[in-house]
């Protein structure tokens, strides 16, 4: 069971965001593009997909919906990295996530960095409750990456 994001005493919302997102980066740091793309079974998504999906969550439900003028990093990512949010449109089949060769792991990392920079640049103007929900969601995906 995922734990909720608990603030460290005196930790700012930006520091909390960076701490949780940073753990995902650390978990994936030793992985090559091939390592992060492998899907060992239909119900276990690749590490690259987890990194991208949580980024899609923040880009979609925080930046797109609450930061005026924000434009998606790459429109095609919505199809690839949506999971079960039917209201957000079609999505790549779960059992075939290991067949997503592009974007590469480095491209996913660059997208994460761009989304993180945009979110951190406006964090005081964005809904704290949705950011907290996203961070809890990120922690769930960290657990999935470890299993």
> What would the pLDDT profile of 89-111 be if each residue is shown by its tens digit?
888 988 899 889 999 999 999 99
Return the beta strands (E) in the chain as ranges.
none
Give pTM, 2 decimals.
0.92
Q: Is residue 1 very low, low, confident or very high in pLDDT (cuts 50, 70, 90)?
A: very low
pLDDT at 2: 45
Give the rounded percent of residues in the chain with a pLDDT score beyond 70. 95
**CA-only gyration radius of the chain, Å:** 15
Peptide bond into 103 cis (omega under 30): yes
As a whole number of angstroms, the distance between CA 91 and CA 73 comes to 17
pLDDT at 77: 97
Number of other CB atoms surrounding residue 70 within 10 Å: 16
What are the C-alpha distances in Å from 90 to residues 20, 21, 130? 28, 26, 23
Please state the rounded mean pLDDT for residues 42-63.
96
Q: Does the pLDDT of residue 68 top 80, yes or no?
A: yes
- Count Cβ neighbours within 10 Å for each residue of 123-144 and write b for 16 or more, e otherwise: beebeeeebbbbbebbbebbee
> pLDDT tens across 74-87, in order?
999 999 999 888 88
Please state the rounded mean pLDDT for residues 30-44.
94
12 near 143, Cβ under 8 Å?
Answer: no
SS (H, E, C) 73-98: CCCCHHHHHCCCCHHHCCCCCHHHHH
**Residue 92 in tokens:** 């790549």
Q: Is residue 6 very low, low, confident or very high in pLDDT (cuts 50, 70, 90)?
A: low
pLDDT at 4: 56
């Amino acid at each position: 069971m995922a734990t909720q994001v608990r603030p460290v005493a005196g930790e700012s919302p930006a520091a909390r965001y960076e701490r949780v997102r940073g753990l995902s980066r650390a978990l994936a740091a030793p992985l090559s593009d091939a390592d992060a793309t492998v899907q060992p079974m239909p119900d276990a998504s690749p590490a690259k997909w987890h990194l991208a999906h949580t980024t899609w969550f923040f880009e979609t439900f925080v930046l797109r919906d609450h930061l005026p003028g924000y434009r998606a990093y790459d429109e095609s990512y919505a199809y690839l990295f949506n999971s079960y949010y039917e209201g957000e449109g079609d999505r790549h089949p779960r059992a075939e996530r290991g067949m997503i060769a592009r974007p590469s792991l480095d491209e996913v990392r660059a997208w994460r960095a761009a989304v993180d920079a945009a979110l951190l640049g406006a964090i005081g103007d964005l809904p704290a409750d949705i950011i907290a929900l996203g961070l809890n969601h990120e922690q769930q995906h960290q657990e999935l990456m470890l299993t």
